Structure 1
Amino acid sequence: MSRLTVDLSKEISDRLTEIARKEGITKAEAMRRAFALLSVAEQEKAKGNSLGIVREDPQSHQLQAIGRVVGI
């Protein structure tokens, strides 16, 4: 496994720490997951697709698109 040193702003570092704590994972694992999401976004963008944000109705299990992820 390779090692990478990254300079983060205090805001991003604090948010990364918060996410890792809430998910019960290390900050390194949170960064790996963030990269995986970025990788999927890039692959889908190359196909002309985009990532969306959906909400599932708990009763009908129907999905409702409520947003689109842009700028990735």
Structure 2
Amino acid sequence: MPRMTLDLSVEIDQTLTDIAQQNGITKAEAMRRAFALLVVAYAEKKKPGFSLGIVRERDDHTLEAVGRVIGL
């Protein structure tokens, strides 16, 4: 398996640590999951009329857009 070394800001490293601890996973696994999401976002960006967003399910089971990712 290829290895990668990267420099992170203190803030990003702490956020990564928090995410890993809260989910009972390693920081490496958290990064793998983040890259998996990036792959999905990148693939969908290529499709005309598609955009990537964050939605929240309401109590009535409808969805509300609460954020949109741009610039991928």
Q: CA RMSD in A?
A: 1.2
Q: C-alpha displacement at 1:66, in angstroms?
A: 2.2
Alpha-carbon distance between aligned partners in 2 of 1:8 and 1:23, rounded to the nearest angstrom: 20
What residue ranges of structure 1 are gaps of 5+ in the alignment?
none
Alpha-carbon distance between aligned partners in 2 of 1:57 and 1:23, rounded to the nearest angstrom: 24
Q: Hey, what does 2:70 align to over in structure 1? A: 70
TM-score by length of 1: 0.86
Alpha-carbon distance between aligned partners in 1 of 2:58 and 2:71, rounded to the nearest angstrom: 27
Aligned amino acid, residue 42 of structure 2: E
Aligned amino acid, residue 44 of structure 1: E
What residue ranges of structure 2 are gaps of 5+ in the alignment?
none
- Percent identity between the aligned chains? 65
Q: Hey, what does 2:52 align to over in structure 1? A: 51
Q: Hey, what does 1:12 align to over in structure 2? A: 12
Moved more, 36-45 or 46-55: 46-55
Q: C-alpha displacement at 1:71, in angstroms?
A: 2.7
Moved more, 5-14 or 27-36: 5-14
Q: C-alpha displacement at 1:37, in angstroms?
A: 0.7
Number of aligned residue pairs: give it: 71
Aligned amino acid, residue 4 of structure 1: M
